[in-house]
Structure 1
């Protein structure tokens, strides 16, 4: 496992915050990479400032891993942070078990030192994320205490181009499904369907009043182009990219990540169902109002 230079990790559970100097320490000490604990939020930052280290030291925290009351820190203590989903479990086979940590182990490590209130969606499934594809610091950051929602998207095209559909799932941060969406895309390429799926999810999230979202899909092209990190070579994607970015800017905080196909199966199934719908026809299944 290769560590990123100057990276550090902040774990928040209710009113206690833990700070880890490496992902390896986070996995080994907290054991949270494969455990589903909806009471945790994990954030990632770069370059823990000397001022922050001095302050933590003044609280008697001088080891590689710190823990401190949330009331003792503010939004400026750690600089800019982004939500940090768990890494791929297979990346740590050399040093960690493939089994979930026992409840007693989590209680010993987190219950005593990191006791707390807000939640990071680590999901009922472990989502495979690639940090290299995450939103860069120039985009809106998610505040520590704001609830956020997950938008899963996928597109399908039978023929590429051919009959196409878009699917999206809206979830709460603890993984509960709010809504499942299907939209017919007409005759289109897979990339067009992927864009339409991301746009579909964002439109409904805004319509529902969601202000902080994390978008994830298995189209690296859509993720990177929405971030502005890849050029758009196809003219028919230019307008779709503009629509997606306009929607993105309406959120207070926004993050988009690429995930492996196997971890996007629900949105994929919806997209394949949507292939049979007329262009622009939307079907909604609301589970939470």
Structure 2
């Protein structure tokens, strides 16, 4: 299928629906972890004007999941055809080009897209700014530990340390050949800025933001979510251990 100016992509992930203007944005946001809800991907040729106005009124902007499937009717997007992403074997019996106007309850499952992992990140600063460290934890899709990472940062702010934590983890994952990643952290600032929801106003972290964004864009599948601090304890522990390391010193603990 050709990707033209009028085409758009509709993605349902669990009970949330996102609309994308190009294939690369769609591809980058479709999570591939087996822990994710099932994902359906469809392509439309030309979005009706009334539909676009309706979606904007519901808060969909910049290709974000921000509307519930229960708020949509089955034909709001007009005619949709399946998008040629990898499918679960149970879905391959359906011709890939067959026109569909399916209800949202009918799912086309998204299979694992390359090698995927989960990254938990955090940063610590004793003084803000003060002696700082970055921490990251890499897990496989089943939740088992792959590696614990920590890096000494010297003097840095807490926000800078948290950015260094995500950068540390992304570099490790790319170096190990992972093509898909789910990122979790308790820094609302980092998560919101990486998603493009908040502007980067602090010049001291703008360079770190750009570095993290470039690393993010090298993954085929990328997703980032904010979690509560008590759900990020492993990465927090690594960041606090890293405070005592020399600036630039990186330690790895690999589970065998």
Fold shared, TM-score > 0.5 on shorter chain: yes
CA contact (8 A) 2:34 2:112 kept: no
Q: Say whether residues 1:151 and 2:119 are aligned partners.
A: yes
In structure 2, the residue matched to 1:261 is: 229
Alignment of 1:239-250 (within 5 A): 239-250=207-218
Q: Is residue 35–residue 141 contact of structure 2 (8 Å, CA) maintained in 1?
A: no
Distance verdict in 2 for CA 1:196–1:51, change over 3 Å: same
User: What is the CA–CA distance in structure 2 between the aligned matches of 1:225 and 1:201, rounded to whole Å?
Assistant: 17
In structure 1, stretches of 5+ residues that fail to align are: 1-5, 11-19, 23-37, 56-67, 80-117, 119-142
Q: Match of 2:180?
A: 212
- SS at 2:143's partner residue? coil
User: Is residue 286 of structure 1 aligned with residue 254 of structure 2?
Assistant: yes
* Structure 2 residues not aligned, in runs of 5+: 1-9, 18-32, 41-68, 81-88, 103-108
Are 2:170 and 2:216, in contact at CA under 8 Å, matched by a contact in 1?
yes
Indicate conservation of the 8 Å contact 1:8/1:48, yes or no: no
Q: How many residues align?
A: 186
Shift of 1:278: 1.1
| Structure 1 counterpart SS, 2:212 | helix
TM-score (norm 2): 0.63
Q: Could you give the per-residue CA deviations for residues 30-72 of structure 1, whole angstroms, max 9, x where no partner exists?
A: xxxxxxxx976513665575499x99xxxxxxxxxxxx94334
Aligned pairs for 1:161-180 (under 5 A) are: 161-180=129-148
Q: Answer yes or no: is the 8 Å Cα contact 1:48–1:78 preserved in 2.
A: no
Change (3 A) 1:71 1:154: same
Deviations 1:247-287 (A, max 9, x none): 01111111111000000000000000000011111000111
Provide, for residues 120-174 of structure 1, a one-character-per-residue CA deviation record: whole Å limited to 9, x for no partner.
Answer: xxxxxxxxxxxxxxxxxxxxxxx53325210000000011111000000001111
Q: Under a length normalisation based on structure 1, what TM-score does the superposition of the two structures give?
A: 0.56
Matched, 1:222 2:190: yes
Cross-structure match for 2:154: 186
Runs of 4+ more than 3 Å apart = 6-10, 38-41, 43-52, 71-79
Q: Is the partner of 1:180 in helix, strand or coil?
A: strand
Distance 1:8 1:235, change over 3 A: closer
